Amino acid sequence: MTTTQDPYAGSRETTEGRVYTVTGGDWDQTFGADPHEEERLVVNMGPQHPSTHGVLRLVLDLEGETVTKARVVIGYLHTGIEKTTEYRTWTQGTTLVTRMDYLAPLFNETAYCLAVEKLLGIEAPPRAQTVRVLVMELNRIASHLVGLATFGMEMGALTGMTNGFRERELVLDLLEEITGLRMNHAYVRPGGLAQDLPEGVEGRIREFLEVMPERITAMHRLLTGQPIWQRRLKDVGFLDVTGCLALGVTGPVLRSAGLPWDLRKVEPYCGYETYDFEVPTADTADAWGRYLVRVAEIGESLKIVEQALDRLRPGPVMVEDKKIAWPAQLSLGADGLGNSLDHVRHIMGQSMEALIHHFKLVTEGFRVPAGQVYSAIESPRGELGYHVVSDGGTRPFRVHVRDPSFTNLQATAAMSEGGMIADVIAAIASIDPVMGGVDR
């Protein structure tokens, strides 16, 4: 009897040694008795989406099931967003940067707009600042819920995954009502916001604040006390404060090592210094501590959202300077773009100057004085910084982003080498990288 050779399986000799391509079957039948007794085994984990929080590739050197070397390969989701901003106006840049870390779009928008406003020498009105804090903290809750949900999925706790995404829907419903979109909102604009809060949304946010604490308690009941969950996370992906500082790691990973570094406290922006909240930390420096920190941060964000609601006062949500404010009149109209019918009637039928100005502002954009700034905020994954350069024109000369996912991924080798291959998944999940921000 003859057997058909699988054309997609087999082995070949390379400069790195013998490479096996496996499509299934029993290990002993594929490799023989023990062909790797004196050899290293190189495994490609990826590039794929499941279990890597995005299209990420890990190249792992193994001895048995122990990882001796881990290398991170990125670039599979490259979008060229940073370069594209050089060909769009300052306002249009908001629509681009919101797509980088797509789980924290409002943080990208705010950090970018704070940099543009610093170059312009302006500040958004108080109401706009408060609404920015409100939507960012709602976004932080949604982002952490995705992080916890995918964490559960990758560890085999599928109920944790379904529950996490279920709670996230409550937040996305609110963000959709406020901004018009579930993601990639382009809601925060240079000088303020695209539009004010819609009527009635404050009441629905308060209803959310009543429901969410019990949902977080349920997450603790489901996962925190679960023995298998604890054994999969405790003492896995260890990285202490010294390692974090050496690699530039920030966010929950740094705080899980015991350092309460949070830009909302140490370098406050948008009035965060006036809000009452704590910076959760842990002392375990492992995947378990990162899980606990993120759950605790959801509770702190709920406190900030409630305080932001309490201090909302009537007022404009865009600077008064008509040469910067875009759209020109920020009251939501039938066109869905924020232009009231009264303003449209004014520019189309009563004032040629207003029509010309509106046309130039929308098509050409406003000029930003030459200079360069760095503006950083605390995103759900750590320090999100924008280095923005202007040559005095209507478009950015350069926009470079210090994305926390990109920086934190450097810790993969330190967390994984010397551990088991199964623990690599827990280490990556505890970093919670978003590849849209890494490959921007």
What are the pLDDT digits (tens) for 227-263? 898 898 888 889 999 999 999 999 899 999 989 999 9
Out of 23-27, 179-183, 359-363, 398-402, give the one with best mean pLDDT. 398-402
Q: Mind giving me the DSSP string for 325-390?
A: -SSSS-S--TTSSS--HHHHHHHHHT-HHHHHHHHHHHHT-----SEEEEEEEEETTEEEEEEEEE
If one compares 300 and 362, the residue with the highest pLDDT of the two is 300
DSSP 8-state secondary structure symbol assigned to residue 87: G
pLDDT, position 77: 82
Question: Given a cut of 50, is residue 436 above it in pLDDT?
Answer: yes
CA distance 329 to 344: 9
Question: Given a cut of 60, is residue 158 above it in pLDDT?
Answer: yes
CA distance 343 to 42: 65
Q: 325-363, pLDDT tens digit by residue?
A: 765 444 444 545 555 666 666 666 666 777 777 777 777
Q: 187-227, pLDDT tens digit by residue?
A: 999 988 888 888 888 999 999 999 999 999 988 888 888 88
CA distance 380 to 384: 9
Counting every residue written for the chain, the total comes to: 440
Helix (H, G, I), strand (E, B) or coil at 433: coil
If one compares 311 and 41, the residue with the highest pLDDT of the two is 311
What's the distance, Cα to Cα, between the start and end of the chain in Å? Answer: 55
Out of 64-78, 157-171, 357-371, give the one with best mean pLDDT. 157-171
- The dihedrals phi and psi of 348, each to the nearest 5 degrees, come to -85, -30
How would you class 326 by CB atoms within 10 Å of its CB: exposed for 0-12, middle for 13-18, buried for 19 or more?
A: buried
If one compares 390 and 3, the residue with the highest pLDDT of the two is 390
Class of domain 121-319+412-438: mainly alpha
Task: Classify each residue of 252-269 as buried b or exposed e, where b means 16 or more C-beta atoms within 10 Å of its C-beta.
Answer: bbbbbbebebbbbeeeeb
As given in the structure block, the two tokens for residue 240 are 């202490």
Q: 64-120, pLDDT tens digit by residue?
A: 888 888 888 888 888 889 899 889 988 888 999 999 888 999 999 999 999 999 999
Question: Given a cut of 60, is residue 34 above it in pLDDT?
Answer: no
